[in-house]
Structure formats: C-alpha cells, structure tokens
Structure 1
C-alpha cells in the first residue's frame, strides 16, 4: 500500500464561494502543521508504536514513516485506513482555521475553510468546529485524481453533488458519469470509488453522515 494520492486507493466545489468572486486559491485557510505531524501526534496520544499502527491499519511501517515525515502524500485509502485505526474523526486531520471571535461554533466562514492537500485531490472542510457527526466538504479533483484503484468502504451514508467538471462515480457494481448539477446518495459500507473525468478540474460537494455501527462489517 504505497500508493500516492490520485494514483492509488481514498475518499468529498464551486469554483468560488457564492458570496465572493475571489478564486479558490485565495480562500484557502492558512496552514500551520503538516498532515504528518497531526498523524504522529494522534498515534503518540494513543500510545501506539509505528509497528502497532501498521498492524491495526494494514499500512506498512515504511509508508507510515514516510507519511509522518511528510515525505509522501498518502492516498485516500491509506489515509482512511490510518484514521480508522486511530479512531479519529475526519475533521481532526484538517488544519485548524482562523475564526472570528464573534462567530458561534456552528459557523464556518468561507475564508477560513481548512484544506487537506493530497496531491491531485484536495479536501476543503465546510463543517463547523462544533461537535457533530455530519461532515461536509468540497473535493477538488484535478486531472489524474481519484479515490484510488480499489473501492472504499466506510459505515456511513454518503451523498453530494458535482459542482464543476465531471467525475466517474462507482457504487457497488454500478458506475455513472456525473456532470455539474448531478447529485448522488448511497448507503453505508457500500464499496465506492471515483475518478476525475473531462478536461477541467472537478469540484464535488461531499457529505458523510454519522457512522452506522449496526452496519459495520
């Protein structure tokens, strides 16, 4: 499992925010700690060695070491396996964003969306910092980007809509070519995958519902 993002196995845009004409690049939240540092901190908080995390996640020790040192971008599948082994919510992997002091916890400002960079696939968190099980994000999928060669399976309902460009979405044994404006919903633990299609970068509004514990396999 040494795939890199966009070429190997993973998992959620308008070209600009509805309230501003500024391009996406200017809306990215300031970054302060690389993904590897976050994963290393979570692992140590759990009291796990690299070998123990490798055994529980199925990701090789070498790959884990590269990810923690930010030498390699993990694929979505690899990142998902690490996160599940650490029993960490998806939101904890995003960089904290700058928030206005007067904003309540349920608000996420357009200019303070944290971005998780995974090579050809970037995830932009829309969910607020308040405690909740519903995750909202925008997937920015560049040419060559995908969720990986193998389908993903996660015990939570998912849905969304293509905001720009095109993607190929595979759910179970079925596959659909989706264009801007097309939407989708599918159930928990259904194997799924997606990949970029068309010429321009794609942006997908992606929703992940609460984990369905009774449907885990």
Structure 2
C-alpha cells in the first residue's frame, strides 16, 4: 500500500518574480523525471493539492517540505536554483561572483556558491530575515552540514541542544540528527551553509 499523503501547510508568498523560481524549478524537475503530481505525492508524502499550489507559486514550501520533494525527485539542492552555465572561457570548477544562482523561498533566500558542475559538496549563503525560521518541524536527512555565521546571529538547534551563534562562529553536524534554526534578532543573518553528501552505506 502506498505511503499515506497528508495535507501540509505552507506560507502564502508575496507576488514577486523571484518567488516564482521555486515553483518553476520543481515543475521542471518533476516533468524531467516523467512524474505526475499524483506519483510525486506518493513518493514524497506531500499532498497533490500542496504540490500543485507550490508549483503554481501559490504557496512557499517549508524547508522540510522542500527536502521531502527534493528527495523524492532524487535531485540536489543545487538543482533547484535558477542557474546559468558558466562562461565558455571558465573551467567548470569556478563560479564567478556575478553569476551566483538565487533561490527565493519567501522566508529566506539562498545564494549558490558551488560551481555549476555536479559535486557531492554544495555550499551557499543563506539570507535569513529577522524572525524567520527553518519551519515548525525539524529537518532530518542523510548528509553532513556545516557553516559559519557571516553576519548577524542565529539560533541553531541540533537534537536537544540549542545554541546562539554570532558572526564568526562555525558549526558542523550530522544532518540525520533533527535540526532547525531561527533568527531571533532584528537584523538579517547571513550564513555560509555547506552540505556534504554521505556514503551510501550510511544511508542503509
């Protein structure tokens, strides 16, 4: 019997061109995989109605929902970005500062630093506005995460430990451990965010 699909809540986005990137990327990736909305719903545990709203930019997915959808599609975080190929003169291991991909989720923005070519290591800058969080439910999936606070402050919670991090503080943890973050200040936080793939045997 297929996985039960439950309705989830997501934030309603403001009407901006940037917010449309998330829905467009997810719709493109789903179609590239040859999946219907119903098939993706069964694989991800996200309802057909919610998937449809997200793809049409009527709702912003939380990071947890985005992770469920991304995992079901078998794609990386980098695949979600509106990302142009590098100039022909540049090697594939370089990303120029003026060619960074952006992903707008409404409650935070991601700025892609990793080069265009696929790699197991991905890194980006998270721009987290005052009061924004990673969502009501903690995140958990096979990976390693690390980073450093570039500007502002951030509360990071991993399992049952919560810590307030300031500019210059760094961190590293197993992403299988339930984790979340929030910006408790009135200043936008900028965080260098690194995601490393784990060995297949750790996922078994």
1:92 maps onto 2:79 in alignment: yes
The answer as to whether partners of 2:22 and 2:105 remain within 8 angstroms in 1 is: no
Tell me the SS of whatever aligns to 1:211: coil
Counterpart-to-counterpart distance in 1, 2:61 and 2:138: 16
Q: Offset of 1:111 from its aligned partner?
A: 1.0
1:169 maps onto 2:152 in alignment: no
Greater relative CO, 1 or 2 (CA 8 Å, sep 6+): 1
Scaled by the length of structure 1, what TM-score is found?
0.83
Counterpart-to-counterpart distance in 2, 1:77 and 1:122: 15
Counterpart-to-counterpart distance in 2, 1:155 and 1:212: 9
Equivalent residue, structure 1, for 2:144: 157
Equivalent residue, structure 1, for 2:11: 4
The answer as to whether partners of 1:134 and 1:208 remain within 8 angstroms in 2 is: yes
Pairs within 5 Å for 1:1-217: 1-4=8-11, 34-97=21-84, 99-216=86-203
Q: Which aligned runs of 4 or more in structure 1 are off by greater than 6 angstroms?
A: none
Counterpart-to-counterpart distance in 2, 1:158 and 1:147: 14
With 79-88 and 188-197 compared, the bigger mean Cα shift is at: 188-197
Where does the alignment leave 5 or more consecutive residues of structure 1 unmatched?
7-29
Counterpart-to-counterpart distance in 1, 2:35 and 2:115: 29
Scaled by the length of structure 2, what TM-score is found?
0.88
> What count of residue pairs does the alignment treat as equivalent?
193
Counterpart-to-counterpart distance in 2, 1:105 and 1:40: 26
Counterpart-to-counterpart distance in 1, 2:137 and 2:127: 20
Equivalent residue, structure 2, for 1:16: none
Equivalent residue, structure 1, for 2:5: none
Where does the alignment leave 5 or more consecutive residues of structure 2 unmatched?
1-7
- Computed over aligned residues only, the root mean square deviation of the Cα atoms, in angstroms, reads 2.0
Q: Offset of 1:144 from its aligned partner?
A: 2.3
